[in-house]
Amino acid sequence: MKRKFIDLFAGIGGFHIALHDEKTECVFASENDSFCRTTYLYNFYNISPEIFINNQFNDDILKADPELIPDHEILCAGFPCQPFSQAGYKRGFNEDLENRGNMFFVIRDIIKAKRPDAIFLENVKHLLNHDGGKTFNIIQEILEEELDYKIYYKIVKASDYGLPQHRPRIFIIGFPKEHKYPYPFQFPDPVKLELNMSDIFGGECTREIGFTVRVGGRRSGIDDRRNWDAYNVNNKVVILGVDEGKALMGFPKNFFFPVSDTQAMKQLGNSVAVSAARMVANQIKSYLNKRGHKQILQIDEKTNRMIIV
């Protein structure tokens, strides 16, 4: 039986690519931006046709009934970073009218209704310090105390997982506390970077690791402090294009943008780095398979270190 996941605040489907395989399928996706929806539909209709045929490609998650969302084992969400109303929050989760528009509360309601085996959330690293740390503290409190999930989080760089841009993002992983695991979840170890910006451009680039792909500030100029898309390649100024942007974000070459290049670059700038998400997702899948297992320790012959198997 295939493991199922849902793709909330889906953008152009970075999580979808990262998780989808012969044993894992998407059963629900939600994205309200019409341009992103066009790109998502074009690239995933042949991969996951059921979500479109069965009307499970939602365009307004605020109108979705959490109880009617298909059952799933993994919930993925690259949710927006929004402040919480402290006054409203302190009145209680269920009566929190002032926070009704906060997208994290949508995620909370779906988790409460469907109780997935794992949650995989992504946000900008600034979430940790947003609103003086209050935003993240509330998120952690909701997940751990109200929803009773064990939470693990880490600032993950795309460059640690095979992509030549720093792109630090916070990944938040959670599992129901009642599910017994033999050891804590561990994020995958960084891997050696085998792709650099010269490989991306197919020429000699002065930077090995590129700038983080962003939404604003395009064409600022190579000498501007806001620059992120201008590079010196073969002693010429070259602007990062859609093909280079796809490679830098870990999207496959056959991923197609049926929108303008301006929209395509914006969509890439808002996406999750696919390679980083895939490595963490694979770790989640492996961890789920350990549920109920007893902890077994042995010596790794190569490193002579004690490891868990």
pLDDT score, position 103: 85
Decide if 116 contacts 75 (C-beta within 8 A). yes
CA distances to 4, 94, 114, 175, 274 from 104, rounded to whole Å, are 21, 14, 15, 17, 22
Low-confidence ranges of the chain (pLDDT < 70): 82-101, 292-309
Query: Could you identify the residue written with the tokens 């402290």?
Result: 86
Catalytic positions, please? 81
pLDDT score, position 94: 47
Decide if 279 contacts 160 (C-beta within 8 A). no
> What torsion, rounded to 10 degrees, do the Cα atoms 73, 79, 84, 89 define?
-10
Domains of the chain: 3-187+273-308 (3.40.50.150)
Task: Please write the tens of the pLDDT for every residue from 99-140.
Answer: 455 789 899 999 999 999 999 999 999 999 888 888 899 899
Structure tokens belonging to residue 244:
């280079």
Task: Please write the tens of the pLDDT for every residue from 249-287.
Answer: 999 999 999 999 999 999 999 999 999 999 999 999 999
pLDDT score, position 91: 44
Q: Which of 60, 78, 103 is nearest to 15 (CA)?
A: 78
pLDDT score, position 43: 98
Question: How far is the C-alpha of 258 from the C-alpha of 298, rounded, in Å?
Answer: 51
The torsion angles phi and psi of 287, rounded to 5 degrees, stand at -65, -40
